[in-house]
Amino acid sequence: MAVATSSATAALHVACLALGVGAGDRVWTSAITFVASANCAVYCGAHVDFVDIDSKTYNMSIEHLEDKLKIASRNGALPKVVIPVHLAGQSCDMAEIYSLSQRFGFRIIEDASHALGGQYKGKPVGSCQFSDITVFSFHPVKIITTGEGGLATTNDEILAKRMALYRSHGITRDHDQMKMIPKGRWYYEQLELGFNYRMTDIAAALGRSQLSRLDAFVLDRQKLVRNYNELFEGQPVTIPWQHPDSHSSHHLYIIRPDLRQLQISHAELFERLYSRGFTANLHYIPVYHHPFFASRGYRRSEFPNAESYYTNAMSIPIFPGLSEVEQHQIVEAILTPRGHQTLF
């Protein structure tokens, strides 16, 4: 079952509401993610905390999650919901997270905004085999787009109905959900305080047209990844690591250059690419660094892998239509020593 929304942020919000997240509850998500993964819980009045990332996949660390859960259990402060984030298109280790959920009693929302077209243990991301709800994004920069939009999938009919209710002002025309006897065909009831989170028909039509091209888009990205991997082979740059249980959709190609060996700063490397017409980015600033969250007292020492990641991670261009010549130019710009004349 799937519930389309006006954005992935809206989908995350209604997913939290459907699982009963409210004031005083605790929700945990990855330290490295876009702020929406945390904001959705704050919208519900919940307290948000973060889990450090794995040093190889950059997804939520199973070891750090388990350690944090053990401490929270002793302190009576377990989360109601955990939101793992499939960074760059590679699924988190959902079987392990699900196993921990059975031990510690939390619910799971997969933030798969990057992972449409990806697989985990041979099944499509979004099958919800190891979660309650999975959320996708159709933002303009994502693998397919509806201009702006999101989607929440679930195998639970009750959760699907609750998300659909919150998506549309809390209003229902379903007689089975109504509290009173319908007074006519025109009758509807507001059951909850919902939101105007519906996807437009125009956006949905655009998404349907793009969905048929999803597999081709992912294949194009796989080819670009192979090219980059070959170009960076033997160079002082850490390239994305692929977990054998997952099949990434490669929404992002995140590298970690050895800045000392390349004799360049993190900021200078970004500026070099921009000056040559290539847009690089950093996905993401640790959420607890942002002033809104920093004021809430998070200790950076609790997230050593996220802190290390932030010192040198960068996402370099990857999209259908990127040429091999452009990939060579991007890699050459990254690897050229400071002050050296380039070939381009």
340, part of any domain: no
304, part of any domain: yes
Q: Count the Cβ atoms, other than its own, within 10 Å of residue 256.
A: 17
Q: Do residues 198 and 327 both lie within one domain?
A: no
Quote the pLDDT of residue 86. 98
Cβ–Cβ < 8 Å for 82, 96: no
Cβ–Cβ < 8 Å for 248, 90: yes
| pLDDT tens-place string over residues 10-41 | 999 999 999 999 999 999 999 999 999 999 99
Quote the pLDDT of residue 340. 56
> Which of the residue ranges 185-189, 192-196, 278-282 would you say has the lowest mean pLDDT?
185-189
Long-range contacts of 70-77 (CB under 8 A, 24+ apart): 72/26, 72/104, 73/104, 77/26
- In degrees, to the nearest 5, what angle opens at C-alpha 28 toward C-alphas 136 and 120? 45
Give the end of a domain, one of 177, 192, 211.
Answer: 211
Cβ–Cβ < 8 Å for 128, 155: yes
Q: Do residues 119 and 257 both lie within one domain?
A: no
Q: Do residues 70 and 144 both lie within one domain?
A: yes
Closest C-alpha among 212, 283, 220 to residue 250: 220
Q: Do residues 114 and 33 both lie within one domain?
A: yes
Number of domains observed in the structure of the chain: 2
173, part of any domain: yes
Q: Are strands 81-83 and 107-111 parallel, antiparallel or unpaired?
A: parallel
Quote the pLDDT of residue 338. 67
Q: Do residues 221 and 121 both lie within one domain?
A: no
Give pTM, 2 decimals: 0.95
Would you say residue 343 has pLDDT above 60? no
Q: Do residues 196 and 297 both lie within one domain?
A: no
* CATH number for 161: 3.40.640.10
* CATH number for 310: 3.90.1150.10
Quote the pLDDT of residue 269. 96
Give the end of a domain, one of 167, 183, 211.
Answer: 211
Give the end of a domain, one of 179, 211, 243.
Answer: 211
> d(Cα 180, Cα 74) in Å, to the nearest integer?
45
Q: Do residues 180 and 43 both lie within one domain?
A: yes
Would you say residue 344 has pLDDT above 60? no
Q: Do residues 172 and 194 both lie within one domain?
A: yes
Would you say residue 3 has pLDDT above 80? yes
Q: Count the Cβ atoms, other than its own, within 10 Å of residue 121.
A: 15
Domain that holds residue 322: 214-335
Q: Do residues 61 and 160 both lie within one domain?
A: yes
